[in-house]
């Protein structure tokens, strides 16, 4: 599901900021090699653009830039807007976990998730969603207009549903599936989702 940077000639042998680029103690050497290959400017961190160039879907299309931004924001623990090797290690595990999840729900092995597969995935995650909602979700995240979503957009869709659900639950204090919010709370909720 991702581009293996080593297959493109292996990691470059660069020095960054006068420091030798050696793996941290105990680092996975293959993952370190991938990190260094993706770090095209040898800065020791990955930008959103560098990370996007390294991630591809099963159909060889690049990851949606919004999905990459979401992932960087999730794993950028020091709020630099970039991913260092330690953060990249966590991000890589996260992607691997999602890849296994995606493959489990891609029952026909097509490399994409259709409406039925998305419904099964969301329900297995505990989201009781309507067919209309799944249609809306597929429409929003279907980049190519084929009625399905690629791996990156599956991750983005699922993360979006989780984020929205978590936000809803902050207002659903009695867990009855209903909330009442005022206009200011609604605007705040929407702005937090689009920040």
Q: What percent of the chain has pLDDT over 70?
A: 88
190/180: higher pLDDT: 180
Mutual angle of helices 115-124 and 131-141, in 10-degree steps: 110
Q: How many CB atoms lie within 10 A of CB 109?
A: 8
Q: What is the pLDDT of residue 50?
A: 93
The residue out of 34, 55, 90 marking a domain boundary is 90
Q: How confident is the model at residue 8 (pLDDT cuts 50, 70, 90)?
A: very low
Q: Do 131 and 85 reside in the same domain of the chain? A: no
Written as six digits, the tokens of 67 are: 């999905």
Q: Which CATH number goes with the domain that contains 49?
A: 1.10.238.10
Q: Do 59 and 111 reside in the same domain of the chain? A: no
Give me the residues paired with residue 113 across strands: 149
Kindly report which listed range (7-16, 52-61, 106-115, 122-131) carries the lowest average pLDDT score. Answer: 7-16
100 found inside a domain: no
147/3: higher pLDDT: 147
Q: Do 86 and 111 reside in the same domain of the chain? A: no
Q: Do 144 and 116 reside in the same domain of the chain? A: yes
Q: Do 81 and 143 reside in the same domain of the chain? A: no
CA 157 remoteness from chain centre:
9
The residue out of 42, 58, 90 marking a domain boundary is 90
Q: What is the mean pLDDT of the chain?
A: 84
* pLDDT at 56 > cutoff 90: no
163/39: higher pLDDT: 39
Closest CA to 3 of 39, 57, 54, 45: 54
Q: What is the pLDDT of residue 2?
A: 42
147 found inside a domain: yes
101 found inside a domain: no
**Domain encompassing residue 17:** 1-90
114/17: higher pLDDT: 114
Q: Do 85 and 161 reside in the same domain of the chain? A: no
Q: What is the pLDDT of residue 12?
A: 34
Percent helix, strand, coil in the chain (nearest 5)?
A: 55, 5, 40
Helices (H) and strands (E) in the chain, counts: 8, 4
Q: How confident is the model at residue 39 (pLDDT cuts 50, 70, 90)?
A: very high
> Can you give the pTM of this predicted structure?
0.71
- Identify the H or E element spanning 32: helix 29-38
Count the residues in the chain.
Answer: 195
What's the whole-number mean pLDDT along residues 127-136? Answer: 93
* Total structural domains within the chain: 2
Q: Do 55 and 122 reside in the same domain of the chain? A: no
Q: What is the pLDDT of residue 25?
A: 85
* pLDDT at 195 > cutoff 60: no
């Amino acid at each position: 599901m991702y581009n293996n940077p080593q297959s493109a000639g292996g990691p470059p042998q660069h020095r960054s900021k006068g420091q030798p680029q050696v793996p941290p103690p105990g680092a996975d050497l293959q993952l370190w090699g991938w990190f260094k290959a993706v770090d095209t400017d040898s800065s020791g961190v990955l930008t959103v653009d560098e990370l996007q160039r390294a991630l591809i879907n099963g159909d060889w299309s690049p990851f949606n830039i919004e999905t990459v931004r979401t992932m960087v924001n999730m794993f950028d623990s020091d709020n630099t807007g970039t991913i260092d090797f330690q953060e990249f290690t966590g991000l890589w595990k996260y992607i691997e976990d999602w890849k296994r999840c995606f493959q489990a729900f891609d029952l026909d092995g097509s490399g994409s998730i259709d409406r039925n597969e998305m419904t099964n995935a969301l329900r297995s995650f505990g989201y009781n969603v309507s067919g209309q909602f799944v249609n809306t979700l597929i429409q929003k995240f279907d980049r190519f207009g084929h009625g399905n979503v690629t791996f990156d957009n599956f991750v983005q869709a699922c993360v979006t549903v989780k984020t929205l659900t978590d936000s809803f639950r902050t207002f659903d204090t009695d867990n009855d599936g209903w909330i009442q919010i005022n206009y200011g709370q609604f605007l705040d909720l929407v702005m937090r989702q689009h920040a």
